[in-house]
Each structure stands twice: as structure tokens, then as C-alpha cells.
Amino acid sequence: MSLRITFIGAGAWGTALATAACRLPGARQVRLHVRDAQQALQIQSARVNARYLPGLALPEVLQVVSGPLSELTAGASQEDLFIIATPMAGLRQTLSDLAEVPSSVAWLCKGFEAGTGLMPHEVQAEVAPRMRAGALSGPSFAQEVACGQPAALVAASAHASVRDALVNAFHGPALRIYANDDIVGVEVGGAVKNVLAIATGLCDGLSLGLNARAALITRGLAEMTRLGMALGAKAETFMGLSGLGDLVLTATGDLSRNRKVGLLLAQGLTLAQAVESLGHVAEGVYSARTVHQRAQALGVDMPITAAVVALLDGSLKAGEVVQQLMGRGPRGEAV
């Protein structure tokens, strides 16, 4: 029996990873579920996702489908794999729809749920506690993965069977998949790096220099690690792909949407104007406040995150953010 992988959500990352999965050797059936039926027909006929990955021809073997998820889950087996490629806002409902599948499930979204402050695996524990699930994360721009350029990701889950399923499904010549049982650390890294990328974009947009950027990334990594360890993560996870790796990529890469938000805010655009100009979701905008609230509840000091929240809320201007961070009193580096 061939491996069957179903992607739920046809944004840039879901489409890119589905495309990459089709290129891997071995018998496999790959399906891309599109919520809007009209959009599904357009993608199916044109063989391109014009909204999110224009110019990229989709593999002929990629099946583009729409309709109720119940039609996709009917007859699902333990050997199947469901990949949730929705934004964080769509995770809870999608997990609920998949709650009874016997298959392994993984999500691609990064962030904390608005309102509850929960990480993805905590949302899953609430709505689908019996599910064998995990996260696929790490430093990855959709365009590069879709084009077959090399990348490395982390398959994180408390279940060895889920980690194995993700490695078997995606590990290949252009994608390396590393297994990790520290899902807390992997998810904290994936969420916080988006917030820090906004700060780094602001730094670059204000032309503060490479010294400032290096300091910001390094101190941001310290913030990320403090929060992760307070939540039960392993310190070493933050020195890996889903911590330092994803932070460096998102904070410095020109394809980073979160970094772009910081750049636009530095130019004087309002938050609404910056978000509208992207045309895609920048998860850091939506998770910054939630990250900060969770840190406050734990007594974790995250000054860069706090400054980003103040910037997004409009209580601080771009230049004032720098003054606030540079005006902090001296302390030891390990603090």
C-alpha cells in the first residue's frame, strides 16, 4: 500500500511541502485540500497556486481537492498522514475535525493561540487528547522548499511513531528531517522567533547596523530560551534548527514576512498598512501579545518581546523602542 499524505490548507507552506513530498522517491499519494471550492478548481486546472506561489508549476501527481474534511478522513488508516497547514487561528477547528482519525497528524503553524495563550500541542490535548500528533518545524521559506533547494526540518512529538512517520514521509535528497521529542521547545522556538524577527526588521529598517542586529538576535535567543525552559523545554533545543536556526533565518532573510513587518513599521507605515501590504499571514503580529502575556504569567523577563508588543499596540514609536531597550540597566549576560 502506498503512503497517503493529506495536506489541509493550501497556503504557501502547505503547497510547498506538498510539492516537495511529490518529488520524493517511493510510492505515495499526496492530496492538497483547499477550503474554497472555486480556488481548488483554479489550482487544479492551472496547476499553479497563483495566490501564494505564483510561477511554480505543481507536480501532475499532486491531487487538489476540496469539500468536507469528513470525505478525506473516511477510510483513513494508521499508515496515513494528515498535515495541518492552516494558520494558528485554524488549528483548533481542524484538530477537532480530525479528532477520531487513527492516522498520525502534524501541524506546520507556529505561534500561541490568541485568547487562550496555548501552544499547538496544548490545543491538541484539549480537543483531541487521543490523537497521535506532533509538529513539523524549523528554518524554511516556502519558495525555496517548493523549488527543491536544500533545507532541514524538525519532526517533534512525544510519540515515536509520529516522529518516524514524518521522517519517512519527508526525508529525502533536498529535505533532511531530524526527530526531537521536545515538542515544547520546538513550538516555543517557532513562536517566539516570529516576534523577534519583527524587532530585527525594525532594527534594519532604522539602519542601526550589523552590530545591533547581532546583539538583538543573541539577546532574543536568550529570551526564547528563558521562556521555553519555564514551560518545561530542554535548553539544548534552542541551539538547534527550531531555535537558533529558525531565528537566524526569519530575522535576517529577505523572504521573512515578520521581518518585513518590522521594516515597514520603521518606514512609518501603520501596522494595518504593513499587514495589508504583505498579502500573507505574519504570525508574529498575532502571537506577540500572547507570548508576552504567557511570559508575564510565568515571571519570565522578555524585554524585546515587550517592546515589540508596545510597538504593535502603538504605545511606542520605532525610535522609542530602541531607546527603551538601550536604556535598560547593566546586568550579567546570563541573566
Q: Which residues are catalytic?
A: 193
Across-strand partners of 104?
Answer: 81
* Site of grid cell 494558520: 87
**What string of DSSP letters covers 97-135?**
HTTT-SSEEEE---S--TTT---HHHHHHHH-TT--EEE
Q: CA geometry: angle at 307 spanning 270 and 322, to 5°?
A: 85
Distance of CA 113 to the CA centre of its chain: 12
Helices (H), 210-317: 210-230, 246-252, 257-266, 271-278, 283-298, 303-313
Residue type, 122: E
**CB-CB contact of 155 with 163 (8 Å):** yes
CA distances from 233 to 56, 155, 296 (A): 38, 15, 17
Q: Given strand 175-180, what is the order of strands in its sheet?
A: 63-65, 28-33, 3-8, 81-84, 104-107, 133-137, 151-156, 175-180
DSSP letter at 294 equals H
Beta bridge partners of 7: 32, 83
- Please, is 319 exposed, middle or buried when counting C-beta atoms within 10 Å of its C-beta (0-12, 13-18, 19+)? exposed
